[in-house]
A and B are shown apart, each in its own frame.
Chain A
Amino acid sequence: MDLHFTADEPTAAEISAVDSVLGAAASRWAGGGRGDNEAQTSRGGHGARADRHLLLPVLHAIHGRVGWISPGALNYACRRLHVPPAEAFGVADFYALFSTKPRPPLTARVCDDIACRVRGAEELCARLEADLGPAGEPCRGGEAAWFRSPCLGHCERAPAVLIAESGKRRRECVLAPASAEEVGGHLTRGGAAQAAALPAAVSVPQAGQPQLKLLQRVGRVDPESPDDYRAHGGFAALARARAKGREWVIEQVLRSHLLGRGGAAFPAGRKWQAVAARGGRKYLVCNADESEPGTFKDRVLMEGDPFAVIEAMAIAAFATGCQKGFIYIRGEYPLATARLQHALRAARAAGLLDGGCDIELRRGAGAYICGEETALFNSIEGFRGEPRNKPPYPTDSGLFGRPTLVNNVETLVNVPRIVLAGGDAYAASGTGGSAGPKLFCLSGRVARPGVYEADFGISVRGLIELAGGVSGSGKLQAALVGGAAGAFLSPSELDTPFTFEGMRAVGAAVGSAVVMPFDDTVDLSIILLRIAEFFRDETCGQCVPCRIGAVRQEELLQRLHRGGPLGSTEQEMKLLKEIGQVMRDASICGLGQTASSAVESALDRFPIFR
């Protein structure tokens, strides 16, 4: 391509960051020196443009090295990858974790989202403001800065803070629960001691209990040891799958009635069958971009039992004939990322991925929308994480335009169980419409927040009781189920079974299986405003209903909160309904289609703003 670059040059550190991903430049035409190499020929075209999918890893490398994406670094990355700078800038500017303006090397992102908010986030922010100055401003002599952040997916250990230090030795960790002192300690060069990983039992209060299926190894197995994984029954399913053959595996997944756990509840077996039927190059994608506020179950699986994810992917790739796999993990999960990277290396070294499909890990960079499968494809391919219109569906045209099997982490982790127990036995657990075991994310005002496993059929009340009941005043006001895109239930609806069919019956959805109770001391209007703010910040901006609707919804709630409605409150409520309807009816993807759902469900049930 005839790319044009501004005059900005990369620094040596930036060059080395990019080269750490791509290797040194091979020719003068791609950023190398002007020696005798290729003075009278060059390669370009299709081959050169095919590397664009490395843009996000390269941006991560630059950001990790120098703390922001400078024009010179972007120029060099674009020269290497044959990507137009304007497009690469649009990509870098899309992600919340990247900065396209100079930024201090030390940053703290403090989650002030709904789960953390009812567990001390505002108090933490107030302390930080007193200690360090306002959010977003450089502090400590320009060395550090702190920011407010949407949900970091560590809700069971709220309040959570993500620390990052750029430089030659990049440092990332999550403090949870975090104190102002601890955050302050980490905002120094080289940092305080690494945040100690909390015992798994904090995140999985049921850890070690014999009835667990999906969580059976979490807290018991060494997540960094393939041998220990094997000693705990790991890799048996992969061996059985290979022995039984592809058709048999797909048959079992079909018979299991496993429904996707990512929110859309699509029958997994049908996806597998569709992809298996396709010829040519095919991809497998594990959606680990768990970003729904209040959701952390996939993280706990990846941190506590990473080999299970890889084994499940190996089975899926084998059964459907995918030649290449990707795990796309949200950028706010440094520990899960490290564990998976380690497990991938170990699995590769042990030959467990031989003859099948290699798996690559890709990190997101702060964008809720990338959990939408087609946005995720765009993100991997090096484009802005904007969803695609469907159809075509991923099984026909997904990653790189090829047939793609995309499943979320929890869905995949069910697969080894299905292979070992058989589809029929799996289908016998749970309910008729919702087969199998399920992970639930309990956070907010509960006594023992954490990931809980139960067979489908348990009620919302049963789940809250599993977690030790409502905390705070002990008197439940409302429970958010499904996630920020889910719905609020009133105390009278607590006996609803948390199943696909049960939730549908009360106008809610399983979503990401969030259960977030709020006791009667919580101001729900603040929670609704935070949810509206979340969608305003996280809409990708592509389609009009969602881009502008999310803003208009938030403005409207702000007006009601201030007690200054335009016209009457009734007029505002009518307008809110219309905003919700156009977002639901006309948005491109699930984000916009559900962005008004929780707000509307709350206003339908509770006399907020009246």
Chain B
Amino acid sequence: MFGVGGGTSSYREIEETDVILLWGSNARETHPIFFHHVLQGARNGARMFVVDPRRTSSAQWADRWLGIDVGTDITLAHAVGREILAAGLENREFIERATSGFETYRECVQPFTLEYAERETGVPAEAVRELAHDYARAGRAQLCWTLGITEHHNAVDNVLALINLALLTGHVGRWGSGLCPIRGQNNVQGSGDMGALPDRLPGFQHVENDALRAKFERAWGCAIPPKRGWRLNEMFDAMERGDLTAAYVLGENPVSSEADKNRILGLMQGLECLVVQDLFLTQTAEIADVVLPAGAGWSESEGTVTSSERKVQRMRRATAPPEGAKDDLEILFAIANALGAAWGRPDPEALWNELRSLSPMHGGMSYERLERLGGIRWPCYDESHPGEQFLHSRLWADPLIGPRAPFSAVEDSRAVDKLNAEYPIRLTTGRRLDSYNTGVQSALFPSPLRREETLDLSPEDGERLALQEYERVMVRSRRGAVTAPVRFDPGLRPGLAFMTPHFPDQVDTNKLTIDAVDPKSGTAEFKATAIRVDKIEAPLGGD
């Protein structure tokens, strides 16, 4: 945020903060060890708020749970902001010195009264008020979120609406106060750091900045396209148009993991050439022209990953890839060599040092220091720099260093897949504790917690539809249909349903989801699908 893509605070700070606000995150199950730090914070006296449509296991720990209706996050955030202003609890001094766009923001949130928020989000006004006042009055506060915020058609606006709250209260750039997106995958932060974004080179250096691009061109001895590339959703659109005809997919399983599966499968099958590099023969690999068996990064190769607290840590090889499979780098080098680039053999440390020479924020992170310090948080400019425990202390420097942090008067909008009489139930998705994404890794250990994939409904909906628990039902959305057993979860309320993407072979949840994509981030609205649930009439002779 404010120009660099990473959470501002470290885990230790959440143990020493006064208010913890988890928004759209069930960290208890999806980030269990991060949640240990959250609980330590609570034990040290912090008050905890959880905003989530479901009363999740994380929500059960909260001093206050706010069970918003799916897709009303901006409404709630704006109402919190308005209430902070109405109560005069904003941090005037910080706003004036370090931010821009405040007046526009103030006007933008004016209509979002507590009453309006209660009507739109379903959360009682007094709960919204309590959150607003506690967050604003806190000496230190951490605002953390996960995919509940970002898997929406307006993901970036959702994030910006939360950032506004930190700017309004000065809860950023100070010890114990910050904004923390907790990353869903072990190196999603690192991928961004390394430039696996359509508009960035390593170290978040913008590809359209001529001077920066020239630096890379000099180092690499080649020309870099001067314009930003496509996001994932734009690639699918390009496939549809016929502009994109070949894809090289590394460690991803888009056929299973992307929304509106039927469409994605068709597009990928229509490619002239599909190369998949993966550990397993995933659903995507099954339709590939070429499959390159890869090793497991975490245990079969050398390198680094970056965590949600921006900490770069060493990954080390404990075992060799199985016969026939190769380390990712070896494969990439072999391809480059075969294309005539003469890269030779990969040396992970040499590659890392090249990165350090080009990315100022990684400059001080030698392998030796990473080893000795057990990881370093970026930015770390040189070998005498300790790395930044938290970001944006510049906003509190006097005089301010760098540009002001902008408020964003983002517009509120509702989920794309509307509820109506035909599709009256809101389906949202998420992870379970013992499983991960499409189950490629997690399905292979004997978890005692594992149970068949279900459609989770509130007990009231179960009763209304005259369903028995674990009875198989037909679930339909505007895009597809699946059958699944139902399970009753008292943490859900009438009209709210939940599924996971973990078992595509059992229940292909993403046949239901909508690929309404956020134009700013390319993320689909996995969190808000309109469905209907129908009883399947028992076959003859059945019970």
Contacts and interface: CB of A to CB of B under 8 A. Distances in A.
Direct A–B touching in the complex (beta carbon < 8 Å)?
yes
Interface string B58-85: 1111111111110000000000000000
A42 B55 contact: yes
B434 interface: no
Contacts of B493: 39-40
B122 A45 contact: no
Contact of A44 (B65, B67, B122, B459): B65
Interface in B242-258: none
B67 A39 contact: yes
Contact of A40 (B48, B63, B122, B459): B122
Contacts of A40: 66-69, 121-124, 493
A87 to B, nearest CB: 16
Contacts of A44: 60-65
Contact of B63 (A28, A34, A47): A47
Given A2-B60, A44-B60, A46-B47, A34 B65 contact: no
Interface in B29-55: 42, 45, 47-48, 55
B460 interface: yes
A468 B362 CA distance: 91
Contacts of B58: 2
A1 interface: yes
A44 B28 CA distance: 15
A320 to B, nearest CB: 26
Contacts of A562: none
Interface in A36-51: 39-47
A47 B64 CA distance: 10
Contacts of A41: 64-67, 123-124, 127
A574 B490 CA distance: 63
Contacts of B45: 46
A42 B490 contact: no
A3 interface: yes
B426 to A, nearest CB: 13
B63 A45 contact: yes
B57 interface: yes
A29 interface: yes
Interface string A1-20: 11100000000000000000
A42 B50 CA distance: 10
Interface residues of A, number: 15
B64 A45 contact: yes
Contact of B62 (A28, A34, A39, A45): A45
A45 B61 contact: yes
Contacts, number: 61
B375 to A, nearest CB: 30
Contacts of B121: 40
Interface in A17-75: 28-29, 34, 39-47
Nearest to A45: B63
Contacts of A45: 42, 47-48, 61-64
By CB atoms of chain B within 10 A, which of A41, A43, A45, A46 has the most? Answer: A41
Nearest to B491: A29
A46 B43 CA distance: 9
A42 B59 contact: yes
Contacts of B57: 2
Contacts of B63: 43-47
Nearest to B126: A41
Nearest to A46: B63
B66 A2 contact: no
A34 B461 CA distance: 12
A300 to B, nearest CB: 44
Contact of B55 (A3, A29, A46, A47): A29
B123 A43 contact: no
- Which of B60, B121, B460 is packed against the most chain A CB atoms within 10 Å? B60
B208 to A, nearest CB: 45
Interface in B95-144: 121-124, 127
A1 B39 CA distance: 10
B233 to A, nearest CB: 32
Given A2-B57, A3-B60, A29-B55, A42 B65 contact: yes
A42 B67 CA distance: 8
Nearest to A29: B55
Interface in A86-133: none
Interface string A192-232: 00000000000000000000000000000000000000000
Contacts of B123: 40-41
A2 B127 CA distance: 20
Interface in A306-334: none
Nearest to A2: B57
A406 B67 CA distance: 45
A47 B28 CA distance: 20
Contacts of A42: 55, 59-60, 62, 64-65, 67
A34 B68 contact: no
Nearest to B124: A41
Given A40-B122, A42-B55, A1 B60 contact: yes
Interface in B147-194: none
B43 to A, nearest CB: 10
A29 B42 CA distance: 20
Contacts of B68: 40
A79 to B, nearest CB: 11
7 contacts: A1-B60, A2-B57, A2-B61, A40-B67, A40-B68, A42-B59, A42-B64
Interface of B: 28, 42, 45, 47-48, 55, 57-69, 121-124, 127, 459-460, 490, 493
Given A42-B67, A43-B64, 8 more contacts: A2-B61, A29-B60, A40-B66, A41-B65, A41-B123, A43-B65, A44-B62, A45-B42
Closest 8 A-B residue pairs measured CB to CB?
A45-B63, A2-B57, A40-B67, A2-B60, A41-B127, A40-B122, A42-B65, A39-B493
